[in-house]
Structure 1
Amino acid sequence: MTMRTALVTGASRGIGRAIARRLAAQRCQVIVTSSERSATALDETVTMIVQAGGHAQAICCDLANDAERADLIARAAPQGLDILVNNAAGISAYAPPSRIDLRARRAMLELNLHAPVDLCQQALPGMRERGWGRIVNISSDMATQTPIPYPGPARQIHALGYYGVSKAALDRYTRALAAEMTCSGITVNALRPVRIALSESAQAVAREVAATRPEWLEPVEMMAEAAWLLIDRGLTGEVTDSRALLQRLQAPLHELDGITVRGDASTVEPSL
């Protein structure tokens, strides 16, 4: 594969870091972003990639600020961007739908929906010109209402409702953009963990559910593998979870080096 240029947002830890490392292992030139407050951790991501023999650079950007993100793609990849992974997201308030205020709602949509849409629109002209591009939007299981019995306290499920609204909107945008890009050489997909990807920020939640619902947990490598499959195989219009995609494609799960086989999606368990 020709060396492609990829940008991964929210890559200072967790899913974003894992995807960035996997893309670098597949010979991509990776640009990783985070807000300024995560700059040290973002530099650690770059160090991990470089020490593994990959190519990476970091750029800080507050994606919740529309003016700051307005020219992010041009600044990060003036030569053109081939792969965009919109991973950055946040929860501005843990409040139920009946009480979440307008400020929190706007903040959630700004980062979780408008920022990915803006970056897609910035990246698309160059992708169209080259006749090749890959966009992966990271979604969440919370995009659909959690069925009863709830996997945790009801107040927690309700408090995540508007976060789910923002991710459901991103899923719908993904499908619409994929349809628009038909036969362009540009693919657009959304990917989510089956429930909880075992990243640094999910350790506490993972320990709570591990004893009773181990099937809800997946190693963060599963998301990285699934993201690479969407990019490499040219699938489009997918809104899927990582485990289902690996099972459907009968694909093995690799470590982040892209070489070492860890197992398969049905049997691999995360390490707490």
Structure 2
Amino acid sequence: MAAAQTLAGRVALVTGASRGIGRAIALRLSAHGAAVALAASPRSQAALEGVREAILAHGGRAAVLAADLADETARAGLVAQAEAALGPVDILINNAAGISAYAPPSKIDLAARRAMFELNLQAPIDLIQQALPGMRVRRWGRIVNLSSDTSAAPAIPYAGDARFVHALALYGASKAALDRYSTGLAAELHGSGVQVNALLPYKIARSESAEQIARQTAATRPDWVEPLELMAEAAYLLVAGAHQGEIAVSRALLQRCQQPLHALDGETVIGDARSLVEFS
């Protein structure tokens, strides 16, 4: 039995879709019938093609869009490219993000600050403003902005190295700005049929880029590390359900909605909100 085709006829644009959280969300949305435009930087072209092939192998529709989202010119027509390939974009998943420098707030330079906010805040806003007019006309749209636990200052005493915590302060600031933008936009769009939410892992989602820290963390705090399927499940809930203006934490959202945890096929139940990562 295939996953319920609750998103059949919808088109999703997922940024940072070549790996990790973005790839997981793209596969999960495709499992429910959405056509998916897969976006990432040109250096990830081969990985994007791999995700596309995985979707096509299961009967889905997908297109690859290689663009440097940190470049305002390169991202200027991204939604139009997605629509030319697959049709009007109904679902926008702003997942792509980056850390331009690991440095404490007192030391991080202007170039790094600008680069961090360009990719983590300005790019999502630009893509939203590209997609939003069509969503408003159709009176249906879903925007999910990926956030981070680092958007709030951690409790003292820190669970880890203080230098690492301080080095993530500006990244967290860019995500906090995205959270505030998300809630403000959600309020503006009240009654429009367009839903805007932010989503973050409880602490750490296990992905290629976070593998080392996930393993280190799991040795003492296994409850802090969650499988990518959990983020994909939470993203699907925000897209398929009635949610507006949430800064949703993955585990809490699944628990609140009493939603089981499915594999990326959207059908096989593999756990629930309490599911932990098993390392081999």
Q: Settle same-fold status: TM greater than 0.5.
A: yes
Query: Distance in 1 between the 2:122 and 2:17 partners?
Result: 18
Deviation at 1:149? 2.1
Q: Which letter maps to 1:271?
A: E
Q: Which letter maps to 2:34?
A: C
Residue 95, structure 1, aligned to residue 103, structure 2? yes
SS in 2 for 1:8: strand
Q: Which letter maps to 2:38?
A: V
Structural mapping, 1:18-33, within 5 Å: 18-33=24-39
SS in 2 for 1:269: coil
Query: Distance in 1 between the 2:178 and 2:205 partners?
Result: 19
Q: Show the counterpart of 1:271.
A: 278
Q: Show the counterpart of 2:13.
A: 7
Give per-residue Cα distances to partners, 1:126-159, cap 9 Å, x unaligned.
0011010000000000000111121221101100
Query: Could you tell which deviates more after superposition, 166-175 or 151-160?
Result: 151-160
Query: Distance in 1 between the 2:226 and 2:55 partners?
Result: 22
Q: Which letter maps to 1:145?
A: A
Q: Which letter maps to 2:201?
A: P
RMSD across aligned positions (CA): 0.9
Deviation at 1:41? 1.0
Query: Distance in 2 between the 1:82 and 1:33 partners?
Result: 15
Query: Distance in 1 between the 2:236 and 2:264 partners?
Result: 11
Q: Show the counterpart of 1:48.
A: 54
User: What is the aligned counterpart of 2:146 among 133, 138, 151?
Assistant: 138
Residue 126, structure 1, aligned to residue 134, structure 2? yes
Q: Show the counterpart of 1:66.
A: 72
TM-score for both structures, normalised by structure 2: 0.95
Q: Which letter maps to 2:256?
A: R
Identity of aligned residues (%): 60
Q: Which letter maps to 2:184?
A: A
Q: Show the counterpart of 2:235.
A: 227
User: What is the aligned counterpart of 1:39 among 23, 35, 45?
Assistant: 45
Query: Distance in 2 between the 1:115 and 1:14 partners?
Result: 19
TM-score for both structures, normalised by structure 1: 0.98
Query: Could you tell which deviates more after superposition, 1-10 or 82-91?
Result: 1-10
Q: Show the counterpart of 2:3.
A: none
Query: Distance in 2 between the 1:190 and 1:67 partners?
Result: 25
Residue 245, structure 1, aligned to residue 253, structure 2? yes
Give per-residue Cα distances to partners, 1:186-216, cap 9 Å, x unaligned.
0000000101101122111111111210010
SS in 1 for 2:230: helix
Structural mapping, 1:147-162, within 5 Å: 147-162=155-170
Q: Show the counterpart of 2:217.
A: 209
Q: Which letter maps to 1:5?
A: V
SS in 1 for 2:198: strand
Query: Distance in 1 between the 2:63 and 2:277 partners?
Result: 29
User: What is the aligned counterpart of 1:172 among 172, 180, 192?
Assistant: 180
SS in 1 for 2:220: coil
Deviation at 1:47? 1.4
SS in 2 for 1:100: coil
SS in 2 for 1:190: strand
Q: How many residues are paired up? A: 271
Q: Which letter maps to 2:44?
A: S
Deviation at 1:52? 2.4
Structure 1's unaligned 5+ residue stretches are none
- Provide runs of 4+ in structure 1 moved above 2 Å: none
User: What is the aligned counterpart of 1:257 among 229, 241, 265?
Assistant: 265
Deviation at 1:53? 2.4
Query: Distance in 2 between the 1:183 and 1:60 partners?
Result: 34
Query: Distance in 2 between the 1:131 and 1:240 partners?
Result: 23
